[in-house]
Structure 1
Amino acid sequence: MRGSAAVVTEERAAWDGVGRWTSRRVARLRRTDEGWEVDGADRNGRWYPCDYLPAVSSLDEALTVVDDPRQAFWG
Protein backbone atom coordinates (compact mmCIF):
# COMPACT_ATOMS: atom_id res chain seq x y z
CA MET A 1 0.00 0.00 0.00
CA ARG A 2 1.36 3.39 -0.96
CA GLY A 3 -0.65 6.59 -0.65
CA SER A 4 -4.06 5.93 -2.17
CA ALA A 5 -3.07 2.78 -4.09
CA ALA A 6 -2.57 -0.86 -3.22
CA VAL A 7 -0.70 -3.35 -5.42
CA VAL A 8 -1.66 -7.02 -5.60
CA THR A 9 1.26 -9.30 -6.47
CA GLU A 10 1.66 -13.01 -7.03
CA GLU A 11 4.73 -14.75 -5.64
CA ARG A 12 5.75 -18.27 -6.62
CA ALA A 13 8.48 -20.66 -5.62
CA ALA A 14 10.86 -21.82 -8.33
CA TRP A 15 9.40 -24.64 -10.41
CA ASP A 16 12.26 -26.95 -9.46
CA GLY A 17 12.25 -25.97 -5.78
CA VAL A 18 15.86 -24.80 -5.98
CA GLY A 19 15.92 -21.40 -7.67
CA ARG A 20 14.64 -18.04 -6.57
CA TRP A 21 11.04 -17.10 -5.96
CA THR A 22 9.41 -15.04 -8.68
CA SER A 23 7.06 -12.11 -8.24
CA ARG A 24 4.73 -10.44 -10.70
CA ARG A 25 2.30 -7.57 -10.50
CA VAL A 26 -1.33 -8.59 -10.88
CA ALA A 27 -3.45 -5.50 -10.20
CA ARG A 28 -3.34 -2.01 -8.75
CA LEU A 29 -6.28 -0.72 -6.75
CA ARG A 30 -6.52 3.09 -6.78
CA ARG A 31 -8.71 5.31 -4.63
CA THR A 32 -10.27 8.09 -6.72
CA ASP A 33 -13.17 10.52 -6.28
CA GLU A 34 -15.45 7.93 -7.94
CA GLY A 35 -14.33 5.07 -5.63
CA TRP A 36 -11.80 2.26 -6.01
CA GLU A 37 -10.62 1.66 -9.57
CA VAL A 38 -8.71 -1.39 -10.77
CA ASP A 39 -5.73 -1.31 -13.14
CA GLY A 40 -4.13 -4.37 -14.70
CA ALA A 41 -0.46 -5.08 -15.34
CA ASP A 42 0.93 -6.05 -18.71
CA ARG A 43 3.68 -8.63 -19.15
CA ASN A 44 6.31 -5.97 -18.46
CA GLY A 45 4.67 -4.92 -15.19
CA ARG A 46 3.35 -1.63 -16.60
CA TRP A 47 -0.11 -0.52 -15.52
CA TYR A 48 -3.04 -0.10 -17.87
CA PRO A 49 -6.51 1.14 -16.88
CA CYS A 50 -9.37 -1.34 -16.91
CA ASP A 51 -11.91 1.19 -18.20
CA TYR A 52 -14.52 -1.54 -18.69
CA LEU A 53 -14.67 -2.11 -14.90
CA PRO A 54 -16.76 0.37 -12.91
CA ALA A 55 -15.36 2.02 -9.78
CA VAL A 56 -16.53 0.30 -6.59
CA SER A 57 -17.14 1.82 -3.17
CA SER A 58 -14.89 -0.32 -0.96
CA LEU A 59 -11.50 -2.00 -1.03
CA ASP A 60 -13.17 -5.36 -0.34
CA GLU A 61 -15.30 -4.97 -3.47
CA ALA A 62 -12.21 -4.09 -5.51
CA LEU A 63 -10.46 -7.25 -4.28
CA THR A 64 -13.56 -9.26 -5.25
CA VAL A 65 -13.25 -7.84 -8.79
CA VAL A 66 -9.60 -8.96 -8.95
CA ASP A 67 -10.53 -12.46 -7.70
CA ASP A 68 -13.33 -12.87 -10.26
CA PRO A 69 -12.08 -15.49 -12.79
CA ARG A 70 -14.00 -13.75 -15.60
CA GLN A 71 -11.63 -10.76 -15.35
CA ALA A 72 -8.48 -12.83 -16.07
CA PHE A 73 -6.10 -11.03 -13.70
CA TRP A 74 -4.53 -14.35 -12.72
CA GLY A 75 -3.45 -15.40 -16.19
Structure 2
Amino acid sequence: MGCAVRGSIAVITEERAPWDGVGQWTSRRVARLRRTDEGWQVDGADRNGRWYPCDHLPAVPSLDEALTVLDDPRHAFWG
Protein backbone atom coordinates (compact mmCIF):
# COMPACT_ATOMS: atom_id res chain seq x y z
CA MET A 1 0.00 0.00 0.00
CA GLY A 2 1.02 3.54 -0.61
CA CYS A 3 -0.42 6.95 0.16
CA ALA A 4 0.10 10.43 -1.25
CA VAL A 5 -1.35 13.44 0.55
CA ARG A 6 -1.90 16.84 -1.01
CA GLY A 7 -3.94 19.39 0.89
CA SER A 8 -7.20 17.78 2.00
CA ILE A 9 -6.93 14.79 -0.36
CA ALA A 10 -5.26 11.43 0.29
CA VAL A 11 -4.75 8.99 -2.58
CA ILE A 12 -4.39 5.33 -1.60
CA THR A 13 -2.47 3.09 -4.01
CA GLU A 14 -1.64 -0.58 -4.30
CA GLU A 15 2.07 -1.17 -4.92
CA ARG A 16 3.28 -4.44 -6.48
CA ALA A 17 6.69 -5.89 -7.14
CA PRO A 18 7.29 -7.38 -10.59
CA TRP A 19 6.11 -11.00 -10.66
CA ASP A 20 9.49 -12.27 -11.93
CA GLY A 21 11.60 -10.03 -9.69
CA VAL A 22 12.92 -8.06 -12.67
CA GLY A 23 11.85 -4.54 -13.57
CA GLN A 24 9.96 -1.76 -11.91
CA TRP A 25 7.27 -1.92 -9.25
CA THR A 26 3.79 -1.01 -10.45
CA SER A 27 1.28 1.25 -8.75
CA ARG A 28 -2.51 1.23 -9.10
CA ARG A 29 -4.89 3.86 -7.71
CA VAL A 30 -7.37 2.33 -5.28
CA ALA A 31 -9.21 5.18 -3.56
CA ARG A 32 -9.21 8.89 -2.96
CA LEU A 33 -10.24 10.30 0.41
CA ARG A 34 -11.48 13.90 0.21
CA ARG A 35 -12.25 16.23 3.08
CA THR A 36 -15.59 17.96 2.47
CA ASP A 37 -17.92 20.07 4.62
CA GLU A 38 -19.83 16.86 5.47
CA GLY A 39 -16.71 14.87 6.43
CA TRP A 40 -14.42 12.45 4.59
CA GLN A 41 -15.80 11.27 1.26
CA VAL A 42 -14.45 8.15 -0.46
CA ASP A 43 -14.00 8.01 -4.25
CA GLY A 44 -13.03 4.92 -6.22
CA ALA A 45 -10.77 4.53 -9.24
CA ASP A 46 -11.80 2.76 -12.42
CA ARG A 47 -9.45 0.50 -14.39
CA ASN A 48 -7.99 3.55 -16.14
CA GLY A 49 -7.24 5.33 -12.86
CA ARG A 50 -10.04 7.88 -13.28
CA TRP A 51 -12.00 8.84 -10.18
CA TYR A 52 -15.69 8.17 -9.68
CA PRO A 53 -17.71 9.22 -6.64
CA CYS A 54 -18.94 6.48 -4.32
CA ASP A 55 -22.31 8.15 -3.77
CA HIS A 56 -23.64 5.05 -1.97
CA LEU A 57 -21.09 5.61 0.81
CA PRO A 58 -21.91 8.40 3.26
CA ALA A 59 -19.27 10.90 4.31
CA VAL A 60 -17.69 9.91 7.62
CA PRO A 61 -16.37 12.26 10.32
CA SER A 62 -12.86 10.83 10.73
CA LEU A 63 -10.05 9.67 8.49
CA ASP A 64 -9.84 6.41 10.45
CA GLU A 65 -13.47 5.63 9.56
CA ALA A 66 -12.79 6.42 5.90
CA LEU A 67 -9.89 3.96 5.90
CA THR A 68 -12.12 1.34 7.52
CA VAL A 69 -14.52 1.68 4.57
CA LEU A 70 -11.68 0.62 2.25
CA ASP A 71 -11.27 -2.68 4.13
CA ASP A 72 -14.94 -3.61 3.84
CA PRO A 73 -15.14 -6.42 1.22
CA ARG A 74 -18.64 -5.31 0.16
CA HIS A 75 -17.15 -2.21 -1.49
CA ALA A 76 -14.45 -4.14 -3.45
CA PHE A 77 -11.77 -1.45 -3.56
CA TRP A 78 -9.06 -4.10 -3.72
CA GLY A 79 -10.62 -5.86 -6.76
TM-score range, shorter chain: over 0.9
CA distance in 1, matches of 2:46, 2:28: 10
Which whole-Å deviations, capped at 9, do the CAs of 1:2-58 have from their partners, x for residues lacking one? 111100000000011112110000000000000000000001111000000000000
Asked if 1:67 is matched to 2:71, the reply is yes
CA distance in 1, matches of 2:73, 2:21: 27
Matched-pair identity in %? 87
TM-score when scaled to structure 2? 0.92
RCO greater where, 1 or 2, for CA within 8 Å and sep 6 or more?
1
CA RMSD in angstroms comes to: 0.6
Instruction: Give how far 1:62 is off.
Output: 0.1
What is residue 37 of structure 1 aligned with on the other side?
Answer: 41
Runs ≥4 in structure 1, deviation > 6 angstroms? none
Structure with higher strand content: 2
Asked if 1:46 is matched to 2:50, the reply is yes
What is residue 23 of structure 1 aligned with on the other side?
Answer: 27
Q: Say how many residue pairs are matched.
A: 75
Q: Which runs of 5+ in 2 are unaligned?
A: none
